[in-house]
Every structure is written in structure tokens, then in C-alpha cells.
A and B are shown apart, each in its own frame.
Chain A
Amino acid sequence: MNETSEKRQIAWVIDLNKCIGCQTCSVACKVLWTREESEKAQWWCSVNTLPGKGTPKDWEGMGGGFDDAMAPKTGHQPTLADFGGGFDFNHEEVFFGGSAGKVHLEPQAPREGRWAMNWDEDQGAGEWPNSYYFYMPRMCNHCSKPACAQACPSGAMYKNDDGLVVRDEDICSGSRFCMEACPYKKIYFNYERHVGQHCIGCFPRIEKGVAPACVRQCPGRAIFTGWLSEDGPVKDLVMKHKVALPLHGEYGTSPNVYYIPPLSPHPLNEDMSINAEKARIPPEELEALFGPEVHDALATMQSEMDKVRDGGSSELMKTLIAYKWQELLGPFTADPADIIATG
């Protein structure tokens, strides 16, 4: 495949200032795509609390992607335990066991070493009164230089005409080199069907003009989608305002999911006075996620917010507020209820 795709490219912009960690995107994806056998642990879209270990656990230390010379970097294949295998719960005991009030709903797995998607929810970091955290939805980045597809020996993975990284499951041999090579660790393995699986960008919806489920269902109006090269909020936020940044761009894969970094309130001094010189979320932690460009992005956001506070107008703020819900959907505004299923 080509090193970089010259086809049109769909992209996402996720505003971390508006994400409330409700997991509606995760569940919208889950009920649509991963309800079959061996898919219990698959969360193609997942929201984690940052700072945190994420999903799979400690994924940022698992390698993959490319070095500065675009040579592949060896990666670790996340295991089912790294993702958290998905739990069975004691529903029978709680609801029908006659022990109401005494038995609590609890995963039926050894307490030691338990892990799952969003396991460290709201733990965050920092000491009271300056503790902090924010939420980060993650899905396949549908990279322009997909390390997964380049690692695949059978040629099962490719960029489709819309720039989505997709997989021919009839060709996938289950070798899982894609899972090693993906630096974002957003590829799962179906142990029943012996194939890799990952977010497909809701391509059957895209082809019908319907936005991906994660975008359309987000109650916080936090996720934008659209063509990266066509006029609209996605292009504006990434290229014009430069406030939407890729996660770990240093991984070298040119991801197409962008994030508006989170602003944060000022921390409090020991005497409970406000330290107006600092932000509660340490900027160096955001730089580790989004690169040095994060400082300019945050400054732009703050400046535009201040402008509005002072009674002015800001095109950027209007875009991010998304007064009209359909503005989030880019060209994919069709209502799925209007689509007639065929085949």
C-alpha cells in the first residue's frame, strides 16, 4: 500500500473540554458492533480518565508505530488480560438469591489483578484541593500511515476510499502483527473467529451519509467528524485555528483523530488563594500527550474564551459550542432511521 493515502480522509475532532466521561459513545459503538462471540472485551470506542493507565492497561508503554526515520518500532501485543477480559457478574445471586441488601453486584473474577475498560475511572492525579483529571475517548485513529496495515503479512488491512483503515476478515489470518505494530493498541482479537477486529469508522453508515455512532450519540456535543480537506468544523479546528491536535503524534502514524486539549482552572495555594500563574493540569503532562503545539493551542483557546467573556465574538468558540447539533456531523447528516436496510 502507499506510504500515505492520497484519497479523501475522514477525521474526528474530540473536544476534551466537553467530554463528560458518560461512555455513551462507547456504548453506542458496543451495541452496534461488538455484541457477538468473543467480543465481550472489545470496546472499539472507549473513554478513560487521564491521568491513568488507560485501556489496554499501560498501553502507552507497549511500543509500535515508527521512529523518526519511519522505520517500524517493535511493539507488544496486548493480551486479553491487558484489555480486561470482561466480567461475568453475580446477577442471579443479587436479583434472585434471596439476599437482597446483603449481596452486592460484583465481578466474578479474582480481586487481584482485575482490570477492565475504564477501570481507573476518576482516580486522576494531584492532591486536594488541586486534584485533577479529564476524560479521553479513544478509537482507531484511521492513520494516514497505518502501522497495522503495513505490518500485516496477509494483506488483509487497507485504507478504503474514505481513508478508513479496514480489514477483510476473510483474508485476515489472525497473525496479530497489527496488534503489535499499532502504537495506540486499539486492535482486538476475536478468539472464536481467529481474526483481528477494530473500529471500522462505521463505514456502512458513512456510505449512507450517516455519521459514526460515537459522533451522533454524544450527548455532550464533544465529537466532530467530517472530511479533513473540505470546509467545515473539522478542517477549521485542525488547520485554521490549530487547536485540534493528534494524540502522540510522535508515534509517526499520522493519526486522524484529533483532540481539543483540556483547559483547567487555576490551582489553589496553601492559603487557598488562587495561583493565577498556573493551570491545574500540568502543561507538561498535556505536552506529553499532544506535543509542544499544545501550549499554543491552549493559549488560543484561553484567548478566545477571554474575548467572549469581554463581550466580543469568537468564531472558534461558536464552532466548539456547536449551537446546532448537526454541525458536528459534517456531511454525514442523514438520519439512520431514514435508511432502508438491504441485503
Chain B
Amino acid sequence: MKVDRMDNEAADLKDPASAVWSGLTAENITLAPVPLAAQPTEYIRVSRADLPYGETADASATAVGSGDQLYVRLEWQDDERPNGEFADAAAVILGSGDNIATLGSDDIPVKLWYWAEDREGALNLSSRGPGVVRKNPGASISAAASLDDNRWAVVLSGPAKEVSDSQMGVAIWNGSNDERAGLAAVSGWLSLDMEAS
């Protein structure tokens, strides 16, 4: 995935509705549910055996490098059902192992730059499996979101060094389907071409 460089546009890049983004080519991404068998507790495996989750099948992503920051803009169509107890959420996944489908594994964690509709800002998480997360003491992550005609646009940004030697993926949680933790839709890895300009 191409990472454009725009070194003088940092303020605008944080805004998902900024015109800066409209001139860039977005990468279409296909997502699939985290496998039921990989869910970490028997309760989740039993209770979700007949309840579909990870319902968001398509999204798009655009990435820009600016200064020492990486900005990733995600966009996807939300469904029309109102949210109940759970919020819509999304994450940029960073890692290198063969374990993105399960949001990391016990031996090889992935990083999540995590945004949720009901939280201020973003979380930097370490994930060792579906819902098996800890807060990362590392870099601070920012997020901004807009919702237009039921279509989410979210920009997550953090230090570009966080993604060196990494591949990037995307996870989306549909709040109206009570999706949270490992009940997510996840993409495959996208190789980041950080040298592009």
C-alpha cells in the first residue's frame, strides 16, 4: 500500500473530512470475521456460535506520511441500525506475524491504533489474540472521526517509527451488532510502501 508524503499538511491531515484526502487514491480492503474458534473464552465461543459478527465486509484506507507521523484514513459504510450498548470502532493493525486474522497471538502481539465512537482520542494497544489487549505504554495516538450519511471516516495518526518493518491491517467493530473485543471484522496484511512520494 502506497504511503504518500505531504510534509506541509499536518493540520489538515488530522481531519477526515479535509479536501487533502480527496485527492489521494484509497486502497479497497476486504474484511472477514475473526474466526469463532480463535475466540479466547468458551463463553464467547458458545454464545456467538449462532450469532454472526464481523459484519463489515468492505472498507477503504489511505495512508500519508508527514514529518515523523503516519496518518491513516479509514472509511466504511455503517449499517442503519442504531447502536445500543456498544460503539462503532476501528483500528489500524500493525505487525508482521502470520496472525492478523486473530488480532495477534500469545507469542507475537500486534499493535492496535484503536478508535471508538464513545471515547475521546485513541488508544495504543498491544493485542495477543481476539480481545486479549493491554494498553501500550508507547507512543501516543490521535484520532478524529466524521459520520456522513452513515459512512464513517476516521483518521488515526501516530509516530511513523511505530510502523517500521510492519505491515498494516484494519479491524472494524459494528456497534449496532454488539461487536467488541474479538468480535470484529479484520483485513489481511497490506505492505506499506513508506518510500513512496
Contact = CB atoms under 8 A, between A and B. Distances in A.
Contact of A177 (B132, B133, B134, B181): B181
Nearest to A178: B43
Interface residues of B, number: 24
Contact of B131 (A74, A175, A191): A175
A292 interface: no
Contacts of A147: 43
Given A77-B85, A153-B181, A153-B182, A177 B135 contact: no
A91 interface: no
Interface in B26-67: 39-44, 46-47
Contacts of A170: 135
A180 B182 contact: no
A181 interface: yes
A177 B43 CA distance: 8
B84 A154 contact: no
Contacts of A216: none
B82 to A, nearest CB: 13
A152 B41 contact: yes
Nearest to A77: B85
Nearest to B84: A79
Contacts of B39: 153
Interface residues of A, number: 26
A155 B132 contact: yes
A86 interface: no
Contacts of B158: none
A171 B44 CA distance: 18
A75 B181 CA distance: 17
Interface in B135-193: 135, 178, 180-182
Q: 3 shortest A-B CB distances, which residue pairs?
A: A153-B131, A151-B43, A175-B181
Interface of B: 39-44, 46-47, 84-86, 118-119, 129-135, 178, 180-182
Given A150-B43, A153-B44, A154-B131, 7 more contacts: A74-B47, A77-B178, A147-B43, A153-B129, A154-B134, A176-B180, A177-B47
